[in-house]
Amino acid sequence: MKHIELIELLYKHRELIDSAFSGESVQDLPLELVEDATVFQKVAKKYELSDTYVQFANAMLKRVDANYTFGDYNEEIKLLIRLKSDYLDTQDKMLISRIKELVITLYKKIQQRDILINARINDIVHDNDLSIELIIKDAQDVDNRISELIDAHSQNLKILSHELRGLDDSLDEVLVDIGLDMLPFTQNIHTYNKRLSDFILRTQKRKEQNKKLYSLSRKIIKEQDYELKSLLLSNTQLHNHTLKEKKTSNIKYLPTQLELSKISFIDALKKVLNIEKVERKSQVNKPYQTSKTVELKAIRLEYIQNDIVKDKPQDIYSYILNHKEIQKFQEDNLIQTYAFKTYLTVIQNNRENTTLETNYNQNNIRVVKWI
């Protein structure tokens, strides 16, 4: 399988892989995810994401497995020292290139470790699911390990910047470059140490505070909060509080009568507030209306009916529309409405005398003929 095919495969099953990555169990797994690429592995008859995939994803996402321990690279350092003494004995140039390779690998490992420590701390600081006790424990574990690493790291630096120097010019060049590149990691490891210690202190304080909050809230519920009351009342000048209750329960700070009578109050207010005069004009209500003469109109249906019988129109609607009984409503703009109502009434009352045509007139109304 080519790399591009792997990417396509992962994309095709992205939902499934993602749900498995979040810890859900997987059902109906497509076999290509096990056979073509080992994204999943079978463990005790169940499929779960393979360790290699999880490691890959964690590394890409800069997340760290909680069980991961950060290496101190003592073994690599020991090897470097052994290679140095071998070189001093044999003067074999091959050993110099092995030392160079090892130094570069060591640098890469330290760089990777730096990313992982940072990620682990971020995980701890932002994990809101774990209980506060577990978080403190995790943070302390990592913090202790970092303290150990600070010692190991300064040992490593000593080897790289002193012990290995002077063996070979090209090696010295590599060592100088790497020494410079290592500077930020040295700083970082101290920053991590401080950041975690601060975090632990803060979290412990919060844990203590939660206990206090819980205890005080129980006391309030049981109305045994005498200390709270006396603290609040003894220091009112320091505490935010509410004065002068309003009926709407909106509470505002309002000065008392005594304070209002102080001239300084008015002066002070005048200095900063634009007090606008509000005119008091009561609104005049007019509950009565002058009555108007209302003209009452009605359609005399029998007039129209008689005219229709007499004239036998080919299109009853158009005929009614132009009838003088309907034209009365011209000024009210209601002729269409009344014409249509009348049209329906006439047809309804004279089913046997009318026929329904298939076509429509210019008003889009079905043509009905009188027979």
CB of 23 to other proteins, least distance (A): 17
Residue type, 135: I
For residues 187 and 177, give the distance between their C-alpha atoms in angstroms, rounded to a whole number. Answer: 17
Rule CB under 8 A: say whether 104 interacts with other proteins: no
Nearer residue to other proteins within complex by CB, 201 or 268: 268
- Give me 165's structure tokens: 């120097």
> Between the CA atoms of 156, 162, 163 and 165, what dihedral angle is there, to the nearest 10 degrees?
120
Residue 78, burial from CB neighbour count under 10 angstroms (0-12, 13-18, 19+) = exposed
| Sign of the dihedral defined by the CA atoms of residues 355, 356, 357, 360, in that order | positive
Q: Which stretch binds other proteins (CB under 8 A): 60-68, 110-118, 199-207, 323-331?
A: 199-207
Q: Which stretch binds other proteins (CB under 8 A): 54-62, 81-89, 176-184, 264-272?
A: 264-272
Beta bridge partners of 369: 355
Residue 115, burial from CB neighbour count under 10 angstroms (0-12, 13-18, 19+) = middle
CB of 258 to other proteins, least distance (A): 8
Listed in order, strand segments (DSSP E) in the chain are: 40-43, 46-49, 354-360, 366-370
Reduced to 3 states (helix: H, G, I; strand: E, B; else coil), residue 368 is strand
239, 297, 300, 312: which one contacts other proteins (CB under 8 A)? 239
Nearer residue to other proteins within complex by CB, 86 or 141: 141
25, 67, 240, 289: which one contacts other proteins (CB under 8 A)? 240
CB of 192 to other proteins, least distance (A): 20
Residues 293-332 that bind other proteins (CB under 8 A): none
Q: Which stretch binds other proteins (CB under 8 A): 78-86, 143-151, 207-215, 322-330?
A: 207-215
Contact pattern for other proteins over residues 115 through 154, marking x by CB under 8 A: -------------x--xx--x-------------------
215, 306, 322, 363: which one contacts other proteins (CB under 8 A)? 215
Rule CB under 8 A: say whether 290 interacts with other proteins: no
Residue 11, burial from CB neighbour count under 10 angstroms (0-12, 13-18, 19+) = exposed
Would you give the DSSP letter of residue 84?
H
Reduced to 3 states (helix: H, G, I; strand: E, B; else coil), residue 247 is coil
Nearer residue to other proteins within complex by CB, 221 or 294: 221
The residue ranges that bind other proteins (CB under 8 A) are 128, 131-132, 135, 203, 206-217, 220-221, 225, 227-229, 231-233, 236-245, 250-253, 255-256, 259, 262, 264-265, 268-269, 271-274
